[in-house]
Structure 1
Amino acid sequence: MIALPILGVSAADLTVRSAELSTEQSLERSLGAADGRISDPGLGGVPIMQSPDGSNYNPIGDFEDKPWPEGKADVTKALPAGAKTLKDTVGSAKLRTTHGLLHTEIRELDASDPMAEGILAVVSGRLPKKSDEVAATTHFLESSGLKVGSPLTARGFDRAYRIVGSYELPNALETDQINALPGAMLAPLDKALEAAGLSGTSPSTTLLATVPGGFTWNIVKDINTKGVTVTSRAVALNPPADSEVPLFQQEGWGNFEESTAAKAAALAAVGTVVGLAMLEICLLAGPAFAVGARRSRRQLGLVGANGGDRRHIRAIVLGGGLVIGVAAAVVGTVLGLALTYLLQPLLEDYLGKRFGHFDVRPLELLGIALLAVLTGLLAAVVPAVTASRQTVLASLTGRRGVRRSSRVLPVIGLIAVALGASIALYGSMMTDQFAIVAGGSALAELGVVALTPALVGLFGRIGRVLPLSPRLALRDAVRNRGRTAPAVAAVLAAVAGTVAVATYAASADAEGRAQYQAQLPHGAVSMTIDEGGGRDVPGVRSTVQKLLPVDVRADVDRISVGRAGCGMYDSGKGCGRYEIVVPKANECPLWAVDPANPDQDPSEKFSKAERRKLAEDWRCKEGVGGGAYIDGGVTVADAKLLKVLGIDDPAAEKALAAGQIVSFGKRNVDSKGKIGIRLITDIEAADRAAEKGQQPPGEIKTFTAHMAATKAESYGLSALLSPAAAKSAGLTTVPFGAYFSTDKMPNTEQRQRLDGELDKTGADVQLHIEEGYTSDNSIVLLALTVFAGLITIGAAGIATGLAQADAEADLKTLAAVGAPPRVRRTLSGFQCGVVAAMGVVLGSAAGVLPAIGLRLTEERQQLAWYERALDEGWGVMDPAPYVPIVVPWETLGALLVAVPVGAALLAALVTRSRGALARREAA
């Protein structure tokens, strides 16, 4: 009972400390043996200021009224004299595997150079020595199905490489990476991809460098004047004071270390968790010490009869707690050490990085062990005081005497409940601080724990209407509150926490379900490809239809402006775009740029009241969310798309057949019932015009519009144009994808088979299967229910075992007077069930309060943010916050019914029906 938590805490301490890397170890994994890493931040070489670790930087100067600097800097010119460098270039590409294609990081680094020692750890084989050789991370080999010795090729590149070794990145074990010699892979691959019209590898280069004396802070600042950042080993090992860092002296910048308040809050949270864990252990272990002391009362009475006083009795019982605490500390610590050492490889794989070393900190482990000793002593305090108060005569004769329950403890508990509930209510209704709600709820829960003995007495009043066995079990629980109340309190604490988290999770789940926006109808599938001018689309359409249970297939095209092969988002040379012309009268005033004052924020022209009013204006409400949305707003497809999306509108189908454009929102339709589509060939000119509030240049194609009459969800579909109408209007279209309705939801085997076939195509396919809202909290609620059930059954079982040990004489008397054997079994079961039921009922009531308080606090916060967004004009399209409070009745039902009944049945099954009769002791 005490050793298990110590085992867990000591194992956690060892894992955290071993996973923490020293500064030297971190530098070895990032810099190898180099003195620093030189990087170009892309600010065009203008002088910069950087933080000591190089993660933050800012250009020197005021760029508020002039363009932000951008461009490449000449890194080599920033190096000090005598510096030696090693190039480290990283890009990415899709490599061919045994399954298809895998997006993989490609790193060109001569890892055999002494300067790179420590960055890579060779696992098998060797590092590449030739331009046609590569090494791969072990994770890549596992994911790809390849092995050392296998050939390796990339998509769009016929040249083959041979994998000659495997390695791992100690700080990123789950990285898919290929290592090649400098210039061996990225440059030729980029040329091949560019020739094929595919996206390149996007390489970025840094320099590992060594310099005599290292990169001191003064040298780093000097290099910053050339527009280059430095990650320096010397600076990391001996960082400068904040006053010596120019960046930290700028307004809005500073040393972003964790604040004292945050550290205090973290320590308070840790202290609370440790305190509650100790309370839980004491609540369960205390009755065991009490029954042990009671069964040893004759020996304790003999101590008193031979001259021992109350101090000796207390010392004996406390000594037992001390011995058990020490034993638990030793066992728990040793097992924690052994378990962590044995599980180190599994822990490293779980954390995704290698330990620096197995870090044993004796003082921390000693502190954890002392916690076990303290817990054992605390658990024995009350039994020690109770045993010392018994008279010698009562101890020797076994008489318990008349015991009165404390009248002070219930009063304290009642005050704590009232005060805690008031604090939690104040925190949820008057402030936005979660800490106040949590603190008040914790205080109220501790008050309920203090009230437990009195509440157990109230439960005893229902015993008069129960049959024999449950009546005996309930009366025994009430009469022996010293062992019943702590067990009930332990169950209460566990169940209260579970109910609080479950209520919060169920409420958050209901909120997520309400906010969820389906991309497509349930079971529908979308497939789109935005590259290569749609050349791969027809084949992929057929593949999806062949491998999935498709009912209706709707082919979708997109309007293309510019040269062939431009993707939907390409803005390169020769590529254009299109847009729907929104009539001036239909524009949302909050977004309309004034051509006379283009730099002014349009929303600043309105007061807060006017902004809130405009938030209800239909012109500012129409959104574009959904899986059928296409950039530009016009989808080219026939009436089959309406069937796939579940839109039943015969008039819209007729309009499509007549060459009209179907609009699913009135914002795009002008007063004459027309929709205009502007074709933009000069994207830069269009952007400049939009910034000035002017109409961008471009040819406009006009279509007669039909407003869709359906009120059903359109899933982001804005405007629909048939392929024939687009062709007759002179619009260029290219295949974009397809939408499919299915007879039934595709299963996992069908999806895996489809993914494998799509990988073989080499196309960048965007595939979505609409599964509807899926809760991430279901497994959490199940785990919480199981956890609370185990704690409840464990605590109730402990209380039942103590009751049987404490009432052995009564059970023998029952057997002696002829009670049936089943009475013993049923009595045991009801004793366990009574404790479980009382704890679950009280815990369920106590656990709802904090969850409600936290949800009310969240509602206040979200309403405040929403009102601020409305006042400032940027939240007009957002819906009002919906923060429901939902009680998880399934979880409560399992706790209130299934757990007590299960505990009772389990106790009845493991209890022997017959007990051995004992001879009456001689007087």
Structure 2
Amino acid sequence: MISWYHSWIAAIRIARRDAWRAKGRSALVLAMIALPILGVSAADLTLRSADLSAAQELDRQIGSSAAKLSAAHVGGPVHQHPDGSNYEPVGGYDDFTPQGRSTTDGTPDPVLAALPAGAEAVRDSQAYAKVRTAHGLLDTQLRELDTHSPLVRGMITLDRGRLPAAAGEVIATNAFLEQSGLFVGSRVTPRGAPAPYRIVGAYELPSELGKAEIIAPPGSLLAPLSTAIRATGGIDLRAQDTYLVAVGGDGFTWNMVKEANAKGVLVVSRAVVLDPPADSDVPFFSRNPDHANASDSARTEEAAIVVTVVGLAMLEICLLAGPAFAVGARRSRRQLGLVGANGGDRRHIRAIVLSGGLVIGAASAVVGTALGIVLTIVLRPVLEDQLGVRFGGFDFRPLELAGIALLAVVTGLLAAIVPAVTASRQTVLASLTGRRGVRRANRVLPFIGLTAVAAGAAIALYGTSARAGSTVVAGGSALAELGIVALTPTLVGLFGRLGRWLPLSPRLALRDAVRNRGRTAPAVAAVLAAVAGTVAVATYEHSRDVQMRHEYVADLPHGAGALGAESSAYKEVPALRQALAKHLPLARQADVERIVVGKPSCEAYSTEPGCGKAEPLTPKDQRCPLYEAENGLASFTPDEARKLRRDWRCAPDENGGGGGGGAAYSAYGTVVADAKLLGVLAVADPGAASALASGTPVSFDKRLVKDGKVTLRVVTDMAAADAAQMRREDPPGQDKVLPVHQVPDGVEGWGIQLVLPPAAAEAAGLATVPSGTFFSLDGAATGEQRQRLDAEIDRLGVQADVRIEAGYQSTDNLGLLALTVFAGLVTIGAAGIATGLAQADAEADLKTLAAVGAAPRVRRTLSGFQCGVVALMGVVLGSAAGILPAVGLRLVQLREQEHLLSVGEEMGYGPLDAVPYVPIAVPWETLAGLLVVVPLGAALLAALVTRSSGALARRAAG
């Protein structure tokens, strides 16, 4: 035992001395191992610190109160999840009938009725509205809360200033102040408010740093604003009320939660969250068992992801660090030979080389972990801003950090295993003379690689039809990739056959790479692994992007736009049109009006007294029977329903109509406009333009037209109309029958069903008011033009919306670019490492070139080609390996889409005989960047950093 101990101590001393003597190589290997450890340790500390405990979450959610209560939206008894994150009506949604509750009929708030006796409550009211800022208008959450109450402690953090103490004072989040251009001391005015409010303090929401919000004392903000909005005929605020409750004793217990649920109230209880009841005592879990096991499955999936990422990281580090240890062993072969000549056996030589991995791994563990902790502490504010959450404090997990550090040691040892075994197999004579001997190719490894590739591909293809498809595909793809890694030495040899067609320098570089597969193959495999992952993700994301582009449904023709204003702002529409023409490069402009029944400010669905509507009526024999039947789809057999769904009356209408949907009349898109509208909407129907010019309406939905006419029903009693709709009857009203021109099938109406020329509306006695404008642009609107237009609309003081159809906007270009850059950096790094090792390993060859009179640039050129060759081989193999998982995952999605479409068709809401569009598209731009730019960049970088001249070697003593 003492001899074994002392031999390892000696081996570690030798390894430490060699590492110190070869500082450059040691620093290179240390950096390769320490960088991932730095990232993992920093990520661990960051995520643990950002992952709040249950108590910290409760402090931010309910302050120091015992519970937070809110009314359920279903308006009746409910069963809830213990943490209040989910709920459903008692009995489920199958037989659920909304009960509703009026907020203006004097009915008491159910939350107040659910409060235990003697409980103290603080109301928290919230609503969204637009607030005037230094730049224009900003969507902001308005809040009324008694910030001086002890129950609020922990929910907000005052940053500067003071809390509001009287009406007319508010505090604002830092995010609001930053976005609005205001500051503490400024005055802020919610749109429609009778008076401004002074900002007396700035605060932040610890878990929502980016949220724009202002808080006022109770009763000083939402109620006055609602009164002012109602006085001007605007849309009232929809405030949501919750209550912070303090109770004595054991807090708000689970039995108290269930009593509140019986009254239609949801509860987030501190006592229940910290000490949840058994699943058997939770009625919500009896109908939703998946929710009880959701956290366990999430943790299992998270653990699988962590294991996979850590495993791949260790594999890549070993592939990159292994050749460095191999070169170090070869550079120390004379020393190792002396150990053997002085009685050392193979295990001593293995111990010396393994000790090198142990020393470097331990140093990497210390350096990487320490730097990870320091960087996390230094960058805490930046990390919190990126995550949008304040840490609850630094959550150091010594065991986790020690495990991460141990990972570096294990990685160093694993990377040194193969070089240790190889060095121990050399004879003493070969080690002392520097001869490498004849190395035969391993015939077992290629067989294992081919088997792994075939098995992995088969498993991945099986995963496309298995239940756990994505997991099986990922596992099979990983196995196939490992098989390609095992085949790398053989594939490198096959690349060598291309040398006969290459010029001198690349031929020498390729021959050197093939002859020294021990250092070339791992570097190529490391590049392969990085590129394969990038190509897989890029192919998957690009294919999904192509699919989303295909499925994108435009609202208007490309480059066209629409300006719309709220109904109460009909008088300001002409001014809005002038602002539009002033600030945007308009090519065409088509002004539209809307039909009003009653007051000019009445909306299409207004329930105000004195308001009505005028809508086209679908003839009864042209309504879809599937929706007209008393029991809907249940009134028909599957074959009958399928046959009816092929009927033209039940076909989906892209112009806003439909097969019925339970309504006896159409509820979409009737506008008053002239033929200019057809030009903006690119309607290629000369007959439609002629019809509008002659005063004839134009229909885009043939279900509305019978015998060349359309019926407009003018409804003046909306209460009677709603009652008739519930009875599935036509609404009572006066009919206006007009001749109409029906556009041919296939002509897109862009959501408009019926266009009435002004003359036809006037002849029918229909009143109209301006509602908006459709337009097309001469070019594209710049950001500055849009901002100036928004500022002009804000100065007019109206609620208006301007939208321009820009077509599908891809969201993954930045991600693909980041992936390409990442793969490029890893590839260049791995190729650079291989080149540095090649230079260290082939120093004698380079000096021989200098001795025989080779030009100085030959050394630089050779180094560049050595790096480029490694990068190119890795990129080619990685690109091929990365296609498999992407194809497998897309096939899994194809199977899922087919299943969803079949279910939808059976249930009567999906398209008939639909073929899912799940393309597999290769991102050629990304591949071109990897195949061309990356190897070329690696070669140029290596050539630039390589010295073009070197001293001639002195002849070694005999």
Q: Answer yes or no: same fold by TM over 0.5.
A: yes
Quick check: 400-409 or 837-846, which moved more? 837-846
Match of 2:352 in 1: 316
> 1: distance between equivalents of 2:190 and 2:684?
46
| 2:731 matches 1:700 | no
Identity of aligned residues (%): 61
Report the CA distance shift for 1:401/1:706 in structure 2 as closer, same or farther (over 3 A): same
| 2:457 matches 1:421 | yes
Quick check: 383-392 or 220-229, which moved more? 220-229
* Superposition map of 1:113-512 within 5 A: 113-213=149-249, 214-249=251-286, 251-252=287-288, 255-258=291-294, 260-428=296-464, 433-512=469-548
Q: CA deviation at 1:877?
A: 7.8
Cα deviation digits, residues 536-587 of structure 1 (max 9, x gap): 3221111111100112111111222343322234334443334322233433
> 1: distance between equivalents of 2:656 and 2:365?
58
Give SS of 1:93's match.
Answer: strand
> 1: distance between equivalents of 2:171 and 2:295?
44
Q: CA deviation at 1:69?
A: 3.0
Match of 1:760 in 2: 795
> 2: distance between equivalents of 1:792 and 1:164?
55
Cα deviation digits, residues 387-446 of structure 1 (max 9, x gap): 111111111100000011211110000001111111222223576712222221211111
> 2: distance between equivalents of 1:485 and 1:384?
17
Match of 2:782 in 1: 747
Q: CA deviation at 1:8?
A: 0.7
Match among 666, 670, 674 for residue 709 of structure 2:
674
> 1: distance between equivalents of 2:292 and 2:796?
48
| 2:56 matches 1:21 | no
Quick check: 648-657 or 689-698, which moved more? 689-698
Structure 2 residue runs of 5 or longer lacking an equivalent are 1-31, 102-107, 658-665
Match of 1:664 in 2: 700
Match of 1:53 in 2: 83
> 2: distance between equivalents of 1:837 and 1:226?
69
- Does the 8 A contact of 1:519 with 1:626 survive in 2? no
> 2: distance between equivalents of 1:572 and 1:660?
32
> 2: distance between equivalents of 1:117 and 1:544?
48
Q: CA deviation at 1:796?
A: 1.1
In structure 2, what residue type is equivalent to 1:248?
A: F
Report the CA distance shift for 1:691/1:603 in structure 2 as closer, same or farther (over 3 A): farther
Q: CA deviation at 1:195?
A: 0.3
Match of 2:114 in 1: 78
Q: CA deviation at 1:371?
A: 0.7
Quick check: 687-696 or 94-103, which moved more? 687-696
Match of 2:17 in 1: none
In structure 1, what residue type is equivalent to 2:633?
A: P
In structure 2, what residue type is equivalent to 1:830?
A: F
Match of 2:906 in 1: 871
Cα deviation digits, residues 219-278 of structure 1 (max 9, x gap): 3334444443332222222222222334434x3467434264553333222211111111
Report the CA distance shift for 1:795/1:847 in structure 2 as closer, same or farther (over 3 A): same
Q: CA deviation at 1:488?
A: 0.8
Match among 540, 548, 563 for residue 576 of structure 2:
540
| 2:648 matches 1:618 | yes
Match of 2:69 in 1: 38
Normalised by the size of structure 2, how large is the TM-score? Answer: 0.91
Match among 812, 820, 827 for residue 855 of structure 2:
820
Report the CA distance shift for 1:21/1:842 in structure 2 as closer, same or farther (over 3 A): same
Quick check: 566-575 or 202-211, which moved more? 566-575
> 1: distance between equivalents of 2:846 and 2:461?
49
- Does the 8 A contact of 1:10 with 1:368 survive in 2? yes
Quick check: 368-377 or 135-144, which moved more? 135-144
* Superposition map of 1:472-621 within 5 A: 472-532=508-568, 534-591=570-627, 593-594=628-629, 598=630, 600-602=631-633, 604-608=635-639, 610-621=640-651
Give SS of 1:157's match.
Answer: coil
Report the CA distance shift for 1:203/1:340 in structure 2 as closer, same or farther (over 3 A): same
Match of 2:895 in 1: 860
Match of 2:25 in 1: none
> 2: distance between equivalents of 1:653 and 1:309?
98
> 1: distance between equivalents of 2:429 and 2:724?
102
Give SS of 1:207's match.
Answer: strand
Give SS of 2:123's match.
Answer: strand
> 2: distance between equivalents of 1:522 and 1:63?
41
Quick check: 123-132 or 113-122, which moved more? 113-122
Match among 118, 125, 131 for residue 95 of structure 1:
131
Report the CA distance shift for 1:15/1:575 in structure 2 as closer, same or farther (over 3 A): farther
Normalised by the size of structure 1, how large is the TM-score? Answer: 0.95
Q: CA deviation at 1:82?
A: 2.6
- Does the 8 A contact of 1:135 with 1:163 survive in 2? yes
> 2: distance between equivalents of 1:392 and 1:62?
80
In structure 1, what residue type is equivalent to 2:63?
A: G
> 1: distance between equivalents of 2:92 and 2:314?
57
Give SS of 2:464's match.
Answer: helix
In structure 1, what residue type is equivalent to 2:276?
A: P
In structure 2, what residue type is equivalent to 1:241?
A: A
- Does the 8 A contact of 1:620 with 1:877 survive in 2? no
**Alignment size in residue pairs:** 912
- Does the 8 A contact of 1:662 with 1:719 survive in 2? yes
> 2: distance between equivalents of 1:11 and 1:791?
20
- Does the 8 A contact of 1:128 with 1:135 survive in 2? yes
- Does the 8 A contact of 2:82 with 2:273 survive in 1? yes
Report the CA distance shift for 1:626/1:308 in structure 2 as closer, same or farther (over 3 A): farther
| 2:831 matches 1:796 | yes
- Does the 8 A contact of 1:623 with 1:877 survive in 2? no
> 1: distance between equivalents of 2:490 and 2:807?
49
Q: CA deviation at 1:181?
A: 1.1
Cα deviation digits, residues 7-39 of structure 1 (max 9, x gap): 111111111111111222222222222222232
> 1: distance between equivalents of 2:463 and 2:118?
63
> 2: distance between equivalents of 1:858 and 1:264?
22
Match of 2:662 in 1: none
Quick check: 482-491 or 649-658, which moved more? 649-658
> 2: distance between equivalents of 1:49 and 1:773?
42
Quick check: 704-713 or 469-478, which moved more? 704-713
Give SS of 1:476's match.
Answer: helix
> 1: distance between equivalents of 2:137 and 2:587?
29
> 2: distance between equivalents of 1:467 and 1:60?
80
Q: CA deviation at 1:521?
A: 2.4
> 2: distance between equivalents of 1:108 and 1:450?
65
Q: CA deviation at 1:370?
A: 0.7
Quick check: 562-571 or 905-914, which moved more? 562-571
> 2: distance between equivalents of 1:257 and 1:314?
49
Report the CA distance shift for 1:569/1:331 in structure 2 as closer, same or farther (over 3 A): farther
- Does the 8 A contact of 1:576 with 1:680 survive in 2? yes
| 2:813 matches 1:782 | no
> 2: distance between equivalents of 1:163 and 1:232?
33
In structure 2, what residue type is equivalent to 1:646?
A: A
In structure 1, what residue type is equivalent to 2:481?
A: E
- Does the 8 A contact of 1:662 with 1:705 survive in 2? yes
Q: CA deviation at 1:865?
A: 1.4
Give SS of 1:158's match.
Answer: coil
Q: CA deviation at 1:734?
A: 2.2
- Does the 8 A contact of 1:432 with 1:857 survive in 2? no
